[in-house]
Amino acid sequence: MSPDKAEARATGQRLLAAFREAGAAEVEADILQPAEVLLDLYGEDIRARAFVTQDPLRGEMMLRPDFTVPVVQMHMANGADPARYCYFGEVFRKQGHRGPRAPEYFQVGYEVFARDDAPAADAEVFALIAGLLAPLGLRAAIGDIGILMAAVGGLNTLPGRKAALLRHIWRPRRFHALLDRFGGKAPVPAARADLLARIAAGTADIDAPLIGLRSAAEIESRLAALAEDAAAPPIATAEVALLNALFDLAAPAPEALSRLQDLAREMPAIAPAVAGLARRLDAMATRGVDVAALAFEASHGRSTMEYYDGFVFSVRAADPALPPVASGGRYDALTRVLGRGGGRSIPAVGGVIRPGLVASLEASLEAQAC
C-alpha cells in the first residue's frame, strides 16, 4: 500500500527540482538540532512530539522535527534578503498514539524571505505548491491568523485580558473558556472568588516562607492584576458575539472576503488585515489560482504549532485520516524570536509538501486509471 522509501525520495527530488527552478537556493540542515531553541519556541508539546537525545558534549539534542527553524536560523545568521530557499529530507515526529502515522517521513519545502509585498510572496508560495499538487485533485483551505490577532488586539478591554487571549489563540478550547470568563458569560470559579474576596479584604498576604525563584514582587504584581481584572467591566456581549462570528467563519474565499469586509465595518481593527487578504487573493488569481474554489476557514491553523501569524494554508486528500499533503504559512514573528540579539526580523512565508504521500496518491490514481 505505502510506496517504498525510494519512490518517496524520487518524488521529493522531483519536487525539489521544481522549487529550484522557481528560483530557490537549495540548503541543508543538520538532523541533530539543539533542543533548547526548539523547546523555548514550542514548549513542552514539542518534547512529546520530537525525538530527544543526549550528546555528551552538546547536551540535549532533537532529531529535527521540521526544517523551518534551522532554515530561519541560517538566514538570520548570514543571509541577505530577499531570499528563496528550498530543502528536502527526513523529519522525525514521535507519535504519541498507536496508528498508521509514521515517525519519520520526507519533507520538501520552499521558503521566501522578503521585506516588500507580502501578499505577492504568500501567493507565490501557495500557487507554486498548489500547482505542483494540481494533478492529484486535492482540497485546499486557507486562513489568516493575523486577522484573528488583530480582532483580539482591537477588543475594548484590559491589555492583560487581550494578552491572555492572544497567548491562547492556538489553544481554541482554552481561548473560548477565557473569552466566556472575560465576557462575564462563565461564572467566576469558587477558588478565584475566594481569592478575590481576600484581596479585597486585604488579607491575601504572603503567609508562608518565600521559597523558589518567583519573588514577592512578582506575586504582589499578579495580585494587583487580579484586582484590576475583577474591577474591570466584562467585554461587551456584542464584541464577544462579533469575535465568535469571526472565528466561526468558513466559506468559499470570495464569500468569506465579503463577509470579513462587513465584519470590519464593526471591528475596524481587522480592516488592514482584511485588506491584506483581499490583496493576497488578487495576487493568487493573477498566478492562476482558482480562488473561487478555495475554502477560507477563519480558525484554520489554530491547532498547529504556534508560530504562524498571518496567512496559513493546507492541502489535504479526501481521506480525513491522512495528514495534510502540504501545509504552510507566514511566520514574521519567528524571525524576530530567532534573530534575537540584533533585534532583527524579516517577514517570511513558506510551505512543505510530504513527497511520500504524493507518491502514494499518484500510485493510487494510476491504479484507478488502469
Partner 1 sequence: MLKLGVPSKGRLMEQTFEWFGARGLTLARTGSDREYAGAVMGCEGVELVLLSAGEIPRELAAGRIHLGVTGSDLVRDRLADWPDQVAELAALGFGHADLILAVPACWVDVETLDDLDAAAAAFRRAHGFRLRIATKYHRLVREFLQDQGVADYQLVDSQGATEGTVKNLTAEAIADITSSGETLRANHLRILTGGLIHESQAMLFAARGADWTNGASEVLDHLLPVLGLTRPQGL
The annotated binding site for L-histidine is made up of 66-68, 93, 107, 111, 302, 307-308
Choose the stretch contacting partner 1; rule: CB under 8 A; options: 12-20, 25-33, 44-52, 265-273: 44-52
Nearer Cβ to partner 1 (36/255): 36
Nearer Cβ to partner 1 (14/167): 167
Distance between CA atoms of 91 and 245, rounded to whole angstroms? Answer: 37
Q: Assess 93 for contact with partner 1 (CB under 8 A).
A: no
Nearer Cβ to partner 1 (48/241): 48
Nearest to 170 by CA among 68, 329, 299: 299
In the beta sheet, which residues pair with residue 62?
A: 33, 52
Q: Is 129 exposed, middle or buried (0-12, 13-18, 19+ CB in 10 A)?
A: buried
Residue 70 grid cell: 534551522
Q: Binding partner 1 by CB under 8 A: which of 9, 14, 174, 336? A: 174
| Distance in Å, CB of 218 to partner 1, minimum | 6
Nearest to 349 by CA among 367, 365, 333: 333
Q: Binding partner 1 by CB under 8 A: which of 30, 40, 104, 255? A: 40
Q: Binding partner 1 by CB under 8 A: which of 22, 39, 102, 295? A: 39
Q: Binding partner 1 by CB under 8 A: which of 5, 14, 47, 316? A: 47
Helix (H) or strand (E) holding 273: helix 271-286
Nearest to 261 by CA among 270, 249, 252: 270
Total binding residues for partner 1 by CB under 8 A?
Answer: 42
In a 3-state reduction of DSSP, which class is residue 141? strand
Nearer Cβ to partner 1 (207/366): 207
Nearer Cβ to partner 1 (103/137): 103
Contacts (CB under 8 A) with partner 1, residues 292-311: none
Long-range contacts of 167-171 (CB under 8 A, 24+ apart): 169/145, 169/302, 169/306, 170/302, 170/303, 170/304, 170/305, 170/306
Q: Binding partner 1 by CB under 8 A: which of 26, 28, 30, 45? A: 45
Strands 83-92 and 25-26, bridge-based pairing: parallel
In a 3-state reduction of DSSP, which class is residue 193? helix
Nearer Cβ to partner 1 (21/40): 40
| Distance in Å, CB of 151 to partner 1, minimum | 20
Distance between CA atoms of 127 and 291, rounded to whole angstroms? Answer: 11
Nearer Cβ to partner 1 (84/168): 168
Nearer Cβ to partner 1 (97/265): 97
Q: Binding partner 1 by CB under 8 A: which of 4, 56, 80, 96? A: 96
Other Cβ atoms within 10 Å of 82 Cβ, number: 14
Contacts (CB under 8 A) with partner 1, residues 188-227: 189, 191-192, 194-195, 198, 204-214, 216, 218-219, 221-223, 226
Contacts (CB under 8 A) with partner 1, residues 238-257: none
Q: Binding partner 1 by CB under 8 A: which of 167, 259, 287, 316? A: 167
Where do the DSSP E strands lie in 293-339?
295-297, 311-316, 326-330
Question: Is there a contact between 126 and 365 (Cβ–Cβ < 8 Å)?
Answer: no
Strand order in the sheet with 59-63: 32-34, 59-63, 52-55
Distance from the Cα of residue 88 to its chain's centroid: 21
**Side chain identity, residue 292:** A
Q: Binding partner 1 by CB under 8 A: which of 173, 321, 366, 368? A: 173
Question: Is there a contact between 39 and 46 (Cβ–Cβ < 8 Å)?
Answer: yes
Contacts (CB under 8 A) with partner 1, residues 106-165: 163-164
Residues marked as binding?
66-68, 93, 107, 111, 302, 307-308
Q: Which residues bind partner 1 (CB under 8 A)?
A: 39-40, 43-45, 47-48, 96-98, 163-164, 167-168, 171, 173-174, 177, 189, 191-192, 194-195, 198, 204-214, 216, 218-219, 221-223, 226
